[in-house]
Structure 1
Amino acid sequence: MYRFLASPRWLGYAALTVAAATVMVLLGFWQLDRYHQRASINARITAGTSATPVPLTEVVPRPAGTPGTVGAAPGGHTEWLRVQVTGRFDASREILVRGRTVEGRVGFEVLTPLVLADGTAVLVDRGWVAPAEGGALAMPSVPAAPDGEQTVLGRLRPSESRGGPPKEVGGRLEVRRITPSAIAPAMPYAVYDAYVSTDQPAPGLTAVAPEKQNALQNAGYVLQWWLLAALTLYGFVYLARREARGPEPEDLLDEFHDTPA
């Protein structure tokens, strides 16, 4: 009954069906991996609200190079961990990160190097500040970084991609993205290849809250791809069974009516 499946046409149908279903299953597994990655990030964000902060030096490799260089990047599992680090702010090399949005408003994030006792530095995002009255590109009034030794508590953030070196605008250094490897050459010390977003901003600054990932969207894509794979296989089986049964009675009747007298 199913000998027709060995014909070149049906073998081609079978190969195409299996290939399509395989691709859909693999896409489902890719979305499943994305789901686990995003769920892990969300778990770290949630845990960070109550977790005891760990020393920065325990989770990020210390930069051992010469001034103007960065150390090794931390592992991806460290993003959003709550860390603490002690040092002195270098306000003379403070950088404004332009085009940053908080609560629907575009302003600046204030990035200030914190120099550790060993002479290395980590960039600290001290918080967000609204632009001046002149608009989003106008220079804001930034609260001064505190003097003396400071212990900073905050979330560990990885380097952002495609960042450029700081440029002087209106007497202040500015960047578009926080990329320590691009910023380090403008600094007189070796810099950690990550930055700390403080959760205790000074008055006049707004904390940059962590944004949770939409992991449920990826879970939905997993179900979508696997359901499509199942429907593709079912469609082949349905067509094969229909071919094996032969034409339906109504098909024969239509053929009879179409036959010329």
Structure 2
Amino acid sequence: MAIEKSDRLAVLIDADNTQPSIIEGLLAEIAKYGTANVKRIYGDWTSTSLRGWKEILLEHSIQPIQQFGYTKGKNATDSAMIIDAMDLLYTGKFHGFCIVSSDSDFTKLASRIRESGLTVYGFGEKKTPSPFVSACDKFIYTEVLRAKTSENEGIAKKSAAEMKQDTKLVRLLRNAVEASSDESGWAHLATTGSNIAKQSPEFDPRNYGYSKLGELLAATKLFDLEERIIGEGHSKAIYVRDKRKKSDT
């Protein structure tokens, strides 16, 4: 899915289920997809548990929305976020929503927003239940964002052997390349990436320690990659082919 940088986005953060250490990486990631015209964060700001968030809200121009926990065991924050999201949706001013939470309670909200033709970007920890992940157009695990902003953390690169043993990953990559390929078996890398996103919203090469899809494909040693000069403008494009296709020819 092609994303215009001018897309207007509404960013809604569940403070109860999100760590403040991700904020810089989060906003940098969101900037790839559009402009965060609304940035709101929800929680009980009288609670000491949100002290870490309080220190960075002003710096990043995030509007705190107070929501008291009137009833023990009930998540009032979720209800407030959902109501605000629907209000913003009905204004018709936005192209997409960024829902930042690891809570499955936002599954229906994500589905409803997508039904209206808007893009939904989800952000949450790897523990996020799969229904919420699948309800989003794209889902980014916040462990990647936290590692990105920390000098002492990082996600170790998976070796070719490790990735080959991940049958789900191998099947996803091979299916995407196959679906995007021409008769010779070569597929445009960008088209392959779009195909992967449609099959698996949570896929991100950074989850395996690689910054780009091409790097991950090369590291698996299951694919051939080729750089080509395209058109009179001499622009470059990367193409990928399953190595099994080479042996068939």
TM-score in same-fold range (> 0.5) = no
Question: Comparing both structures, which one devotes a greater share of its residues to helix?
Answer: 2
**TM-score, normalized by length of structure 1?**
0.23
More RCO (CA 8 Å, sep 6+): 1
Instruction: Look at both structures and tell me which one has the larger radius of gyration over its CA atoms.
Output: 1
When the two structures are superposed, what TM-score results if normalisation uses the length of structure 2?
A: 0.24
